[in-house]
Amino acid sequence: MIRYLLAASLLLLTACGSGSNTPAAPQSATGDAAAFPVTIPHKFGSTTINAEPKRVVVVGVTEQDPLLALGVVPVGVTDWLKKYPGAINPWAKDKLNGAPLPTVLTDENGPQYEKIASLRPDVIIGLYAGLTQESYDKLSKIAPTVAQPKEYNDYGIPWQESTKTLGKIVGKAAQADKLVADVEAKIAKTRQDNPKFANATGLVATLWEGYFVYGSQDPRSRLLTSLGFKLPEKLDEVIGDKFGASISKERVDLLDQSVIIWLAVPKEARTTLDNDPLYASLKVAKEKRDIILDETTDMGNAASFISVLSLPMLLDNLGPQLAQMVK
């Protein structure tokens, strides 16, 4: 009964959302009307969008970046980093072009359905997300909803595919393709300038419940492989079908790569790593080929928020550090 009452309240909110308290739609560049209708496949089937959406709500946690790059300011975004006003990151802030900040949503125990409905969305997007069938069904009662693709683990969609899918959703496929091509060219240039990356192995990890390592489908790991690095063998066998997992002390050998990037607070991480005899015995530690990227800084946040807008800044700063490690 509670489920039916919730569904009814969501529909009522949607129907009554035209009142004066509803936030106005932000300005955005117009998409190609000929691009609609468009059907987007995803984990729970497919969703058809019949016309260019003017009010976009994001329930994934990184989609605001490519949307802003496409000239679309969402009316609602789900805040993951919880560090920047409106969940608009510093590397994306200039893309607002004077538009008001989006309404900030949270996802502690699932999407905020009533708050989402009050925004009167034309489309709800959760690509870099972990929507369940239940949450997808509830969101679909509010507006057409595009969930994460079935081809990847939850939170595993590559930034390129996320950008291109968003381009299709808002009628700007050609612009999205150009954005992706430009960033891929910068990645290729970094790889070309550092041929030794192709002969190196790498890993990204953080200090959470011991040592938490990111798998091959995580955007952080994909950044390394796009530059030519190889991930540890059998990494995904240890992690399973998740984007990452904490490893046991018996598998600390996974950390012994040509280079390892730690996303952590430097002082705390250095103390923890130096005081661990297992880690200190690894070659990567003895030769000081571990990079501690301060997770409290914009650069550290960018490393966890891989997008078409964060990558150029990240490559400019992280590329030289990686080059120094494998010199």
pLDDT in tens, 308-321: 999 999 999 999 99
What three-state secondary structure class fits 67?
helix
What's residue 2's pLDDT?
34
Comma-separated ranges of CATH 3.40.50.1980 domains in the chain: 2-173, 194-325
Q: Span 239-261, mean pLDDT?
A: 91
In the predicted model, what is the mean pLDDT of the chain?
90
Residue 146: pLDDT over 60: yes
**What are 56-65's pLDDT values in tens digits?**
999 999 999 9
Structure tokens at 158: 């590559």
Q: Per DSSP, which regions of the chain are E strands? A: 38-42, 45-49, 56-58, 76-78, 103-105, 123-125, 145-146, 202-207, 211-214, 244-247, 259-264, 290-294
Domain 2-173 superfamily per CATH: Nitrogenase molybdenum iron protein domain (3.40.50.1980)
What's residue 240's pLDDT?
82
Residue 92: pLDDT over 50: yes
**What are 222-244's pLDDT values in tens digits?**
999 999 999 998 898 888 888 89
What's residue 250's pLDDT?
85
In terms of residues, how long is the chain?
Answer: 327
What's residue 3's pLDDT?
37
CA–CA dist 43, 140 (Å, integer): 14
Catalogue the long-range contacts made by 103-109 (C-beta closer than 8 Å, 24 or more residues apart).
Answer: 103/23, 103/75, 103/76, 103/77, 104/76, 104/77, 104/78, 104/79, 105/57, 105/58, 105/59, 105/76, 105/77, 105/78, 105/79, 106/78, 106/79, 107/59, 107/61, 107/78
Band the pLDDT of 12: cuts 50, 70, 90.
Answer: very low
Amino acid 132 reads T
**What are 31-57's pLDDT values in tens digits?**
677 899 999 999 999 999 999 999 999
Domain 194-325 superfamily per CATH: Nitrogenase molybdenum iron protein domain (3.40.50.1980)
Q: Residues with Cβ < 8 Å from 109, sequence gap 6 or more? A: none
Taking CA atoms, 63 is separated from 56, 113, 155, 161, in Å, by 11, 18, 12, 11
Residue 298: pLDDT over 70: yes
What's residue 114's pLDDT?
97
Structure tokens at 263: 């996303």
What's residue 29's pLDDT?
56
